[in-house]
Amino acid sequence: MSDDVRLRDVVEADLEVFLRQEHDPEAVRRSKFRPRPREAFLHHWTTRILGDPTVFVQAVTVDGDLAGNIVAWWEADRRFIGYWFGREFWGRGIGTRALGLFLLQEKARPLYADPFEENTGSVRLLERHGFQRSGTVRHGEDEHIMLVLHRQAQPT
């Protein structure tokens, strides 16, 4: 496998894969994100992500296979980024390459991310791309690290 990482627009057929990825027990444990029931998940994606023109979302493919997604959205006056990859794509540098491609297209700065503090892989991925720690935030009982990216990504 060549691990050819590409971004493309999300299509409705991708949502079933994204739903399965969101319900992966290890991904849930690492992210501290409670998976949504199918109907709530589909409603969220069709209205709040795909139905919102201020949201920028891309599907990530590897050798043509759907690997996950990366999304940027507004929360009040802050632009946030998030991503989700299927477990079979972890640990291969795919997130690094995909995020690099995404940051070339997503021009808003500063850009924020708040991964769960124990999700060291996600924290390292963001820091590798220039995100810097700026504090912590709580989501329920869980502490998350607030990271911010100030500079524009450079093509590699």
Query: Mean pLDDT, to the nearest integer, of 120-141?
Result: 91
pTM: 0.91
- The residue behind tokens 């500079």 is 151
DSSP 90-148: TTSSHHHHHHHHHHHH---SSEEE--BTT-HHHHHHHHHTT-EEEEEEEETTEEEEEEE
pLDDT at residue 100 greater than cutoff 70: yes
Binning pLDDT at 50, 70 and 90, where does residue 155 land? low
Cα separation, 78 vs 74, whole angstroms: 6
Please tell me the least confidently modeled range out of 6-20, 95-109, 137-151: 137-151
DSSP string computed for 59-80:
EEEETTEEEEEEEEEEETTEEE
pLDDT of residue 59: 98
Higher pLDDT, 30 or 147: 147
- Identify the top-confidence range among 22-36, 71-85, 133-147: 71-85
Who wins on pLDDT, 136 or 2?
136
Residue whose pair of structure tokens reads 């989700």 in the numeric block = 84
Confidence (pLDDT) at 154: 61
Q: Compute the mean pLDDT over every residue in the chain, rounded to the nearest whole number.
A: 93
pLDDT of residue 1: 47
Above pLDDT 70, what percent of the chain?
Answer: 96
Average pLDDT over residues 25-44: 91
More confident residue, 95 or 30: 95
Q: Which residue, among 68, 60, 57, 56, has the nearest Cα to 5 in the 3D structure?
A: 60
pLDDT over 60 (residue 131): yes
